[in-house]
Amino acid sequence: MRNMRWLLLFGAGLCALAAPTIVEAQQSDAGRSGFGLRAGFGLDPDQFVIGGQFAIRQPNSVFRIVPSVDLGFGSDVTTIVFNGDFLGRLKLEGSNFGFYGGAGLGIAYVDPQGSDGKFKAGLNLIVGAGIPLGKGRAGSLEARFGIGDLPDFRLLAVLEI
């Protein structure tokens, strides 16, 4: 329990440090940067996954930085994964539909039932498809492949809000 409090304080500190960047990104590129909700499943460990992200995009750029946090539940273990992804997007001409891919570092807190939790780290390889949902909303379907001590695979649906 003590480790969980430390982890929550650490996450709150990261959010506080990122706040000026987030506000600047929203003001300079309104409608192009923003929050998203994530949900899906993971394999090894087999888990239900929920989370959130913030996409930081520059005007007229195909690249974006996407920090996120995912919470996984199942297989007698709870995981909290902090991701820092760098993604590039390939948009189909004349459409809002597109594909993206990239990589990012991940730090995972793995808390098995009946044992002490541990921090682990690794690299994520990411591929996804962006899907326009109408009225200025967008979503995506994302596959994440973990290298190192991260969950092996996660398939997530993302709704940008």
| 26-41: burial string, b at 16+ Cβ within 10 Å, e else | beebeebbbebebebe
pLDDT at position 95 over 70: yes
User: Which residues lie closer than 8 Å to 23 by C-beta, 6 or more apart?
Assistant: none
pLDDT at 122 over 50: yes
Q: What pTM did the predictor assign? A: 0.75
Peptide bond into 112 cis (omega under 30): no
Mean pLDDT rounded to a whole number for the chain: 82
User: What is the distance between the alpha carbons of residues 35 and 159, in angstroms, rounded to a whole number?
Assistant: 9
117 closest CA partner among 126, 107, 125, 127: 107
Which CATH number characterizes residue 33's domain?
A: 2.40.160.20
Which residues span the domain enclosing 88?
2-160
Query: Closest Cα to residue 73, out of 31, 117, 36, 42?
Result: 42
pLDDT at 50 over 70: yes
Give the residue-averaged pLDDT of 130-145: 87
- Dist. CA 64–CA 131, nearest whole Å: 17
The number of distinct structural domains making up the chain is 1
